Amino acid sequence: MNDWSPQTERARTWFESLRDSICAEFEAIEREAGSDAAFEYIPWNRETEDASEGGGGVRGVMKGKVFEKVGVNVSTVQGEFAPGFAQSVNGASDEDPGFTATGISLVAHMANPHVPAVHMNTRFLTTSKAWFGGGADLNPPIPYAEDTEEFHAAFRAACMAHNPLYYDRFSKWADEYFFIPHRGVARGVGGIFYDHLECPDDAAWERNFAFTRDVGEAFLSVFPKIVRRRAEQPFTAEEKAAQKEWRGRYVEFNLVYDRGTLFGLKTGGNIDAILMSLPPEVTWG
C-alpha cells in the first residue's frame, strides 16, 4: 500500500471526482442519441520490483454512437525515474530520481467529423519540487469559428479568475506545444497548456490547486455543449475520409512529440492507458 502525501491524496480525489462527472455527462449524451454505450473501467497496477514503488490507476473507455472512442485515465504512481531521463524532469536528477505523480488524462475521438476531437489533462507531480500542470485543446477535423471561440472563452474565464496574465501565456504555450514540426501545421485550434506551476509553500499549493480545478470545470462546462451542437449534423463520406486522414496527424504528434506519452512509457505506466489517445480508425494519404 502506498503512503501518498496529503496533497497528493487531495489532488487524486479531485481528479477521480472530475472523471466521474465527465463520464456521467458523456454517457448522458449517448443516451440522448439513443445509445446505451457506457464506460468500461479497467484498473491497473504499476508493476515494479521495489515494494516502495508502485501505484496504478483506472482506465475508462467508451465506444458509442457519438463518441467513437473516448478514454479517461486517472492514475497515481510513485517511484524513481530511469537514469538519464530524471534530469529532463523538473526537480529531478540522476542523484535524486524519486517522484510521485497523480493526474487525469482524457482524449475523445468522435463519430461525426463535424464534432471536434478533444484532449484534456491535469496533473500534480512531486520530485524535489512540487507543481501542477495541464490544459485542454480542441482538435476539429472541420473547424467552426463558433466552437473555437466558445472553447477558448471558457478557458479564458478560468484563467482570468486567477491571474490576468494566464490566458495569453497559456494559450500561446498551447499553440507552440501542439504543433507538428515535420508537417508545419498545428494539431488543432488550441486551448491552454501550462506546466511547472510550482508550490513552494502551502499557500501556493492551494492557489495552483484551485486553478487546476477550475480548468477541469471549464472543460466540463464547454465541451459537452459543442458535442451536442454538432452530433446530429449530416456528413458525407468525403468528410469522414478527411477526418480519418486528419487523425493521422494526431497520431504522429502523440507518438513523436507528446511529453505525456514519453512520461508514461518512461515510468512504467499501463501501455493501454498511455496509448488510449490513439484513434480507432485512421488513414494516411
| Triad 62, 151, 237: Cα angle to 5° | 55
Longest dimension (CA), the chain: 57
Does 182 participate in catalysis according to the annotation? no
In contact, 192 and 173? CB cutoff 8 Å: yes
114, 119, 182, 196: the catalytic one is 119
In contact, 105 and 113? CB cutoff 8 Å: no
Residues labelled catalytic: 119
